[in-house]
Amino acid sequence: MKIHTTAVHAGERKRAPKQVPVSSPIYLGASYICETTSELDRIFALEEKGYAYSRYASPTNDALEEQITALEGGAGALACASGMSALQLAIQAALIDRRKDVLYAHAIYGATMKLLHDVLEPFGIESSFIDICDLRHVEAAIADRKPGCVLMETVSNPILRVGAIDRIAELTKKAGAALIVDNTFATPLLVRPLELGANLVVHSATKYLGGHGDVLGGIIVSDQEHLETVRRLSRVAGPVLGPFESYLTLRGIKTFALRVERQCQNARCLAQWLRNHPRVENVNYLDDPAHPDRETIARLLPAGLYGGMVSFEIKGLDREGVFAFLDKLKLIVRATSLGDVHTMILYPWISSHRDVSPKQKERMGIRENLVRVSVGIEDFEDIQADFAQALEA
């Protein structure tokens, strides 16, 4: 071969050794070479498992998808470029042969509302909100609107309400609608919605699954009914996760259960401490005996595991007062995300629900003095000390 040819081909496409690496390799190839054209034809026709083009499938993504499928108890999964791309594709898969109407929980992530209204409504997908924690309201709304799907979060962002997934699944199944559940806050350690009757589960893999603030990604986990539709839409639209991000997520998930257990422990301690603080007006956390969804929480969540998210209101503070409080924090990270190993704090009024109208925020229970905390794995005494000094008058 001439030097130019040698430069292109030398060292590439070596056969894998018989020994298997302990860590899944990162496969960066955009396309794959088959032994014969007939083999390539069978792979494209989905008659044979294999790889042809990484928009369709790749070994690194397959490893991650197999991992999260097993954790959620699904029929299969798809690794996406972000949580929002996963959610959009899940909604499209649910509605492809159903009425183009979505009922969604009124207490939900602000960007999810924008996806429904700003992105999907112009394409003819109607949507309206419901009180997902009021089963009679849910049942009446399903009977009235006859939606193609119902969309909810396992634990709502940021007020931490918990809808009865199992009973809502019965209502959607009876009506022929699909149930989509965003399980980002709970993770499969706390709740597995597919086992409760949901059809599609989505995650922002950026959060608890990746867990280290170094990856942007999303996951769809599907039941058998919707799996091929999810894969078919993905092969055309191509919202797939890159192999390096898949590797980071795959690696992060290996320790997620340990991390989340610690985060649950620290979050419970923080909620109990905040409830006794004179400057704190109200604390939202799932261990509260007075929580409006306490019966559902007791039925669906493992005893003692209530998640790593806490939100609370600070007495008498307006927007500028909250800014001053946040700026006094020294250990707690002021950043727009959650689920990392470090404790993070976010002001929903200007971030997660920035584009939601003030009236709608009030309806959702998001007041101007509310902050949201994603509790990390640090020593709790250090977390407490930082909040204590920042809350000093």
Give domain status of residue 324, yes or no.
yes
Which pair of structure tokens corresponds to residue 15? 């056969």
Q: What angle do the packed helices 319-328 and 380-390 form, to 10 degrees? A: 130
Among the three residues 195, 230, 253, which one is the final residue of a domain in this structure?
253
Across 117-136, average pLDDT: 96
The pLDDT tens digits for 272-326 are 999 999 999 999 999 999 999 999 999 999 999 999 999 999 999 999 999 999 9
Give domain status of residue 164, yes or no.
yes
Fill in the amino acid letter for 126: E
Question: What is the domain-level CATH number for residue 127?
Answer: 3.40.640.10
Could you tell me the sign of the dihedral formed by the alpha carbons of 285, 288, 291, 295, in that order?
positive
Across all residues in the chain, what is the average pLDDT?
94
Which residue among the candidates 27, 32, 51, 182 is catalytic per the annotation? 182
Name the band, by pLDDT with cuts 50, 70 and 90, for residue 234: very high
Which residue among the candidates 109, 247, 285, 306 is catalytic per the annotation? 109
Among the three residues 202, 220, 253, which one is the final residue of a domain in this structure?
253
Alpha helices in the chain (DSSP H): 3-9, 37-44, 59-72, 83-95, 110-114, 135-145, 165-175, 187-190, 224-237, 243-253, 256-275, 294-300, 319-328, 358-364, 380-390
Instruction: State yes or no: is 207 an active-site residue.
Output: yes
The residues facing 314 across adjacent strands are 280
Nearest CA among 38, 66, 73 for reference residue 52: 38
Please count the other Cβ atoms lying within 10 Å of the Cβ belonging to residue 262: 17
pLDDT for residue 209? 97
Nearest CA among 191, 153, 375, 188 for reference residue 274: 375
pLDDT for residue 101? 98
Same domain, 206 and 278: no
Stated as kind and residue range, the H or E segment containing 281 is strand 280-284
pLDDT for residue 7? 64
Instruction: State yes or no: is 98 an active-site residue.
Output: no
Which pair of structure tokens corresponds to residue 360? 């709608």
Which pair of structure tokens corresponds to residue 248? 């980071």
- Give the pTM: 0.95
pLDDT for residue 352? 79
Which residue among the candidates 207, 259, 361, 372 is catalytic per the annotation? 207
Instruction: State yes or no: is 109 an active-site residue.
Output: yes
**What is the Cα–Cα distance from 3 to 351, expressed in whole angstroms?**
55
Among the three residues 253, 288, 323, which one is the final residue of a domain in this structure?
253
Same domain, 181 and 299: no
Same domain, 139 and 213: yes
pLDDT for residue 5? 81
Residue 31 makes CB contacts below 8 A (sequence gap 6+) with 52, 53, 54
Which residue among the candidates 55, 98, 167, 299 is catalytic per the annotation? 55
The pLDDT tens digits for 336-382 are 999 999 999 999 988 878 878 887 777 788 899 999 999 999 999 99
Q: Which domain, by its residues, includes 90?
A: 56-253
Question: Could you tell me if 332 and 142 are in contact, meaning their C-beta atoms sit under 8 angstroms apart?
Answer: no
**What is the Cα–Cα distance from 298 to 257, expressed in whole angstroms?**
20
The pLDDT tens digits for 186-228 are 999 999 999 999 999 999 999 999 999 999 999 999 999 999 9
Same domain, 84 and 232: yes
Question: Could you tell me if 192 and 166 are in contact, meaning their C-beta atoms sit under 8 angstroms apart?
Answer: no
pLDDT for residue 107? 87
Give domain status of residue 82, yes or no.
yes
pLDDT for residue 17? 65
Domain count within the chain: 2
Same domain, 101 and 243: yes
Which pair of structure tokens corresponds to residue 218? 């999303």
The pLDDT tens digits for 15-55 are 666 777 888 889 999 999 999 999 999 999 999 999 999 99
Across 88-101, average pLDDT: 98
